[in-house]
Chains A and B, each alone.
Chain A
Amino acid sequence: MADEENHFLKIEDVSTAFKIQGKYYPAVSDVSLDIHNDEIVAIVGESGCGKSTLATTIMGLHDPAETKIGGKIEFEGQDLLTLNEDQMNKIRGAKIGMIFQDPLSALNPLKRIGDQIQEGLDYHTKMTEAEKKARVLELVNQVGIPHPERVIRQFPHELSGGMRQRVVIAIAIACKPDLMIADEPTTALDVTIQAQILDLLKDIQKENHAGIILITHDLGVVAETADEVAVMYAGQVVEKGSAKQIFDNPLHPYTRSLLRSMPQKDSENDDLYVIEGSVPSLQKMPQDGCKFAPRIPWVPESEHEAHPTMHEVEPGHRVRCTCYKNFKFQDEA
């Protein structure tokens, strides 16, 4: 249950490396983030930037034999990375809930909706069977699914995509977690449904005083929902700040490039901006220096730092590397 304390998650220098043919390659490196309750922090970036890996690292869902994780994830006074499986199981689902991208595959096809929502309650509460049933109905109602009594007896394939995503949300919020991690919660959905789901998430957050980590590639979704934003590229956070800071005053060349490649009003007659080159694969990722440098080859090496760090530009607004200072697009010369 959510106390009125200011619970928060403090991610410090977290790195996650995957074993590929005997060698470890970092998918996430040196990520530091703070999440408070009553706050939505968006982690935005393109596929392969490590945003989902960061989420599953917080949840402790990686196979320890195949991954190497470093740093600290402090949550309510303990470091999640030092906990064993049993201790993590007391936190997963109870204090941290996770919402996944593809609602069809995220639900067990052979279990009734009601049972899948109730499962978390079975492990984290001492409710009686009747209390659990009532809570499941309450949850189904809360996420806006019509005919709760009928739906809890149905199977996932009998529901529409939007309804399934609501079920996934109901599962995540069943035990009123202090933190919710939503990994691309609306990518598989139509725009009108997307808007409804995002509004629903915000409402639940307000009710539960939870913190939300919203992982997405969609800048529009970020602008509409996030309080704080972290932009990730190649496993690192390259820029973070309030949503206002990021959208009104983007500084890092990557953030600026992304925003510029979005189709805008009145952009019909222009070519869209294309970032040169492509995101390197995990094995070919540059290990040191500014990882974005190869994508802005016209910027002289002297503009980059040898070991890029985060620089605080204004309170709360941080940018990695020094290359942002004099950055201009080629056509701006």
Chain B
Amino acid sequence: MWKTVLRRVLIMIPEVIVLSVLVFLLAKAMPGDPFTGSIGPHTSAAQIHQLKVQAGLYNPWYQQYWNWVVHLFHGNLGTSFQYQEPVTRIIGERAINTVWLALFTMVLTYAIAIPMGLYAGRHQNHIGDNIIRVYTFVTMAIPPFVILLIALWIFGYVLGWAPTTGSVSATASGTMGTVLSRLQHIILPGLVASLTGTVNIVQYLRSEVIDAKHSDYVRTARSKGVPTTNVFRHHILRNSLLPIAAFAGYSITGLLGGSVVTEMIFSYPGMGLLFLNSISYRDYTVITALVLLYGLLNLLGTLLSDIILTAVDPRVRVQ
């Protein structure tokens, strides 16, 4: 198995290189250069030229790319025009917020979706299953931002149970206080995001369970005299959770990218909101850095899913 994983990681190397080249070329194609915004009206053309030569902007593209990569490894992604701060620091701050929200959403999503999907599949067409199906259809029919707005309005403004903006209260003090304040801020967006996120998993898991129930190997298990509960526990459960587990890799890295909609509605200072703001302010260095990060997260998600699949499915190991 470790061989497969190692090979899978090695395959990622060329992917990362291609990704970085693409992102670099994208950044080059954008208007402006690192001095845009920092140059005053009194700087002469000769001085600008001098600065550009020093920065190596007239070098061939591959040399520039190499410099960029070296900077990248030193954690230097340039300076944001908008904030006049290193991009790494800006993203770093936002990333902490997003990780909190992402992990919370993820845990909640699976904690809700797995029991629901298993129950619905096991008790197909019973009352509980019908209620779950109505829930999934309704949630799927309403766009997430509508649900988010309604939740914000009811719980945030009308009832005042949860804060409506920010990630941590400025008045929070001490470790405990900060953590509690953070939880308070993510509870509403996390809950709503996970409720909408469960829908796909519930439906998928439900149909996986139903398929497994009618499979030949379950019939074999029953003909061995295995009691229904144990057939479910030892045969149906694992087999139908397998694709869900594999999907978890994508979904965690997807969440780490930050959700634009959720973060915007709750004014939650995460990566999604940062990305949106950077685009509206044409903050190219931040955009470039985020695109690179999203690309990497995507590759990592596929890697993670493949590793999970290799770990749980013996059929994949051999191939």
Contact = CB atoms under 8 A, between A and B. Distances in A.
A–B contact via C-beta, under 8 angstroms: yes
Given A155-B315, A157-B315, A157-B318, A107 B220 contact: yes
Contacts of A107: 217, 220
A28 B223 CA distance: 20
Interface in B289-319: 312-315, 318
**Listed residue (A61, A90, A110) with the most chain B CB atoms within 10 angstroms of its CB:** A110
A131 interface: no
Interface stretch (A1-9, A32-40, A94-102): A94-102
Interface stretch (A119-127, A140-148, A233-241, A308-316): A119-127
A120 B238 CA distance: 19
Nearest to B225: A93
Nearest to A94: B225
B233 interface: no
A108 interface: yes
B49 interface: no
Contacts of A109: 217, 239, 314-315
Contacts of B234: 119
Contact of A124 (B222, B225, B315): B225
B67 interface: no
Contacts of B314: 109-110, 155, 157
The listed residue with most A CB atoms (<10 A of its CB), out of B221, B224, B228, B318, is: B224
Q: State which size class the interface on B falls in.
A: 20 to 34
Contacts of A174: 224
A97 B239 contact: no
Contacts of B225: 88-94, 120, 123-124
Interface in A117-172: 119-120, 123-124, 155, 157-158, 168, 171-172
Contact of A105 (B215, B239, B313, B318): B215
A86 B226 CA distance: 9
B313 A106 contact: no
B227 A106 contact: no
A230 interface: no
Contacts of B182: none
Interface in B177-220: 215-217, 219-220
Contacts of B222: 59, 61, 92
User: In the complex, which of the residues A88, A119, A168 has the most CB atoms of chain B within 10 Å of its own CB atom?
Assistant: A119
A111 B222 CA distance: 15
Nearest to A122: B226
Contacts of B224: 92-93, 119-120, 123, 171, 174
Interface of B: 215-217, 219-228, 230, 234-235, 238-239, 242, 312-315, 318
Given A109-B314, A157-B315, 14 more contacts: A85-B228, A97-B223, A100-B219, A105-B215, A106-B217, A108-B221, A110-B238, A110-B314, A111-B235, A119-B226, A119-B234, A124-B225, A155-B315, A158-B318
